[in-house]
Amino acid sequence: MSEKSDVQQKLELSELVSLCKRRGFIFQSSELYGGLNSCWDYGPLGVELKRRVKDIWWRDTVQFRNDVVGIDASILMHPRVWEASGHVESFHDPMVDCKECKGRFRADHLEGDKCPECGGELTEPRDFNLMFKTHVGAVADDASAVYLRPETAQAIFVDFEQVMTCSRLRIPCGIAQIGKSFRNEVTTRYFIFRSREFEQMELEFFVAPDDEERWFEYWLDQRLNWYTSSLGIKKGSLRLRPHEKTELAHYAKGCSDVEFLFPFGWSELEGIANRTNFDLSQHAKFSGKKIEYFDDLSGQKFVPSVIESSAGVDRTILTILMDAYDVEPERTVLRFHPDVAPIQVAVFPLMKKPELVEVATKLEKDLRKQFRTFYDVTGNIGRRYRRQDEIGTPYCVTIDYDSLNDHSATLRDRDSMKQKRVSFDQMIAAIGEAQSNPDFWSQSQ
């Protein structure tokens, strides 16, 4: 639990938003034209952070397991997919309009029956489908209508048989995908927490129907731990919250959310759901094709059940940023885990003198083979350290005049600001040890 007050935390969110813009993590889309509400662009540091999150998820979910494979399906799919999945019928929010100010609100978010903006009278609730509709080809009629996918999961269900055949997987096994999803959300807020275009990292894990509960528990445990073990998020800021029966999506028999304590309260980061065999059965029904799995060990045929883990890339990034953000009297620090930090090592010559610049650029080139590096020669050294602290670079290496004789440089730690003298040929090993050994900075040289 956080010890900071509500006001402090909300202030932190707005400070973080301005840091993200100033330092090139994330800023509003189309700002030149006044911006497009709730659409965000990731800048040079943001795109690196995003790539790290997706790479780490892919590594842990697909590459480090022999029971999961990946796909990268197209965003536009046959429109019948969304009829089968239930999204055409059920994926909507109840909306009301104010008859006075014309404002539009989610009926289930209102406390009274008057407009929260002007007190005016509201219309009866109407269902508003969240899928973006567009058209393929030149003619914009009903026959050419398609949707931008509101989740990446459906492509996994539609491709299930194809992937099972070509990958020769056996159940229990999973198919994973990372990609953009689109929802015409009515209320978007809290920076990148809820937007209309976002990315998801989804795993659909197929199991025998009598094995659902065991795998549901397994994935709850795996996914909650992933945020601490692979991304370094503090344990106390995460929790699992089981859904009430009334909250369950139309396809789910059970669901729990991984929640993070954001400045605006505990909120969903990821959903882990038991989708039963709802999706595969629906696609079999709507396509008229049989979708079945034959288990040659038991000799049984069945429609597999699915345990889904569905995480948002952008919400994970907001979580990492919030968790890492720290303001000290003298500096602002993003205490990123070294694995996710956009830049791992910054290299500086103490002064802009040719003999120092030459050694520093050569060292940076060597370190680049192993780490994500950055070279900076401008400003005094204290200011250069502060600039790196603010973007979360865990280590800085400074070349000074002694370096020309002792072939060593000063290695500095972002969090403790402690320093050690390390020879050039030991630098890669020393940074590696600093990442893995918490006692590295307290040990004498």
Q: What is the residue whose two structure tokens read 């995460």?
A: 238
- Window contacting ligand GAP (CB under 6 A); options: 108-116, 206-214, 263-271, 382-390: 263-271
Tell me which of 42, 105, 157, 198 binds ligand GAP, using CB under 6 A.
198
User: Do strands 325-327 and 332-334 pair parallel, antiparallel, or not at all (unpaired)?
Assistant: antiparallel
315 binds ligand GAP (CB under 6 A): yes
Q: Which stretch binds ligand GAP (CB under 6 A): 94-102, 162-170, 304-312, 406-414?
A: 304-312
Give the separation between CA 26 and CA 342, rounded to whole angstroms: 13
Token pair 């060593």: residue: 408
Rounded to an integer, what distance in angstroms lies between the CA atom of residue 95 and that of residue 293? 42
How are beta strands 145-147 and 293-295 bridged, if at all? Answer: unpaired
- Does position 269 bind ligand GAP by CB under 6 A? yes
Taking the C-alpha atoms of residue 79 and residue 141, their distance in angstroms, rounded to an integer, is 13
Q: Identify which range of 66-74, 77-85, 90-98, 309-317 contacts ligand GAP by CB under 6 A.
A: 309-317
Task: Name which position in 16, 17, 84, 153 contacts ligand GAP (CB under 6 A).
Answer: 153
- 3-class SS at 357? helix
270 is an interface residue for ligand GAP by CB under 6 A: yes
Query: Do 428 and 395 form a contact (C-beta atoms < 8 A)?
Result: no
Which residues are CB-neighbours of 308 under 8 A, at least 6 positions away? 153, 202, 203, 204, 205, 271, 272, 273, 274, 275
Please report whether residue 202 would count as binding ligand GAP according to CB under 6 A.
yes
User: At closest approach, how far in Å is the CB of 194 from ligand GAP?
Assistant: 4
Selected range binding ligand GAP among 60-68, 83-91, 305-313, 341-349, rule: CB under 6 A: 305-313
Least distance between ligand GAP and beta carbon 430 (Å): 37
Distances (CA, A) of 152 to 41, 119, 171, 261, 311: 21, 40, 21, 26, 11
User: Is residue 204 a contact point for ligand GAP (CB under 6 A)?
Assistant: no
One of 174, 263, 304, 312 touching ligand GAP (CB under 6 A): 312
Asked if residue 259 binds ligand GAP (CB under 6 A), the reply is no
* Region near ligand GAP per CB under 6 A, out of 163-171, 269-277, 299-307, 389-397: 269-277
- Contact status: 314 vs ligand GAP (CB under 6 A): yes
Residue 87 makes contact with ligand GAP by CB under 6 A: no
Q: Give residues with Cβ within 8 angstroms of 37, minimum separation 6.
A: 188
What's the closest the beta carbon of residue 96 comes to ligand GAP, in angstroms? 20
The reply on whether position 148 binds ligand GAP by CB under 6 A is no
Total site size for ligand GAP, rule CB under 6 A: 19
Our finding on whether 84 is near ligand GAP (CB under 6 A) is no
Please choose, from the candidates 365, 381, 338, 332, the residue with its C-alpha nearest in 3D space to the C-alpha of residue 11: 332
> To 10 degrees, what angle do helices 6-22 and 313-324 make?
110
Give the nearest residue (CB) to ligand GAP: 312
Cβ nearer to ligand GAP, comparing 105 with 198: 198
User: Judged by CB under 6 A, does residue 200 bind ligand GAP?
Assistant: yes
Distance from C-alpha of 259 to C-alpha of 379, rounded to nearest angstrom: 41
Spatial distance between the Cα atoms of 102 and 90, rounded to a whole number of angstroms? 25
- Residues in contact with ligand GAP by CB under 6 A are 151, 153, 183, 185, 194-195, 198, 200, 202, 268-271, 308, 310-312, 314-315
